[in-house]
Amino acid sequence: AQSVTQLDSHVSVSEGTPVLLRCNYSSSYSPSLFWYVQHPNKGLQLLLKYTSAATLVKGINGFEAEFKKSETSFHLTKPSAHMSDAAEYFCVVSERLGTDKLIFGTGTRLQVFP
């Protein structure tokens, strides 16, 4: 069965410093992986997705993630945090190839301090 593990439930950074949100996955096939962001009481917005093309994926708002098969990781990074980045971030894997059924990680709450 496919799964994702988000290693940190909370991450706090200062504005202007780098962001690292960690995610490890487990999959019996080459997975499709996603990062979604959720602002308070809002729906989810897709930040980026990996679908077996380039291993370094660039997303919106300056975020990027690198698929590392050897480490089964898909960590999300951003060089410089902005106050507006404060939100909940979910690492997500598709349940099966070619399906829209998604399995969500437990989420990482990012706090950004001025």
Shortest reach from residue 96's CB to other proteins, in Å: 12
CA 90 to chain centre: 5
Strands 64-68 and 73-78: antiparallel
Shortest reach from residue 48's CB to other proteins, in Å: 11
Answer for which of 12, 14, 45, 61 binds other proteins (CB under 8 A) is 45
Query: Does the protein bind other proteins through residue 107 (CB under 8 A)?
Result: yes
List the x/- string, 71-90, binding to other proteins by CB under 8 A.
-------------------x
Residue 64 burial by CB count (10 A; 0-12/13-18/19+): exposed, middle or buried?
middle
Query: Does the protein bind other proteins through residue 1 (CB under 8 A)?
Result: no
Question: In b/e form, how buried is each residue of 87-96, taking b as 16+ CB within 10 angstroms?
Answer: bebbbbbbee
Query: Does the protein bind other proteins through residue 53 (CB under 8 A)?
Result: no
Strands 33-38 and 44-50: antiparallel
List residues near other proteins by CB under 8 A. Answer: 36, 41-46, 49, 90, 100-107
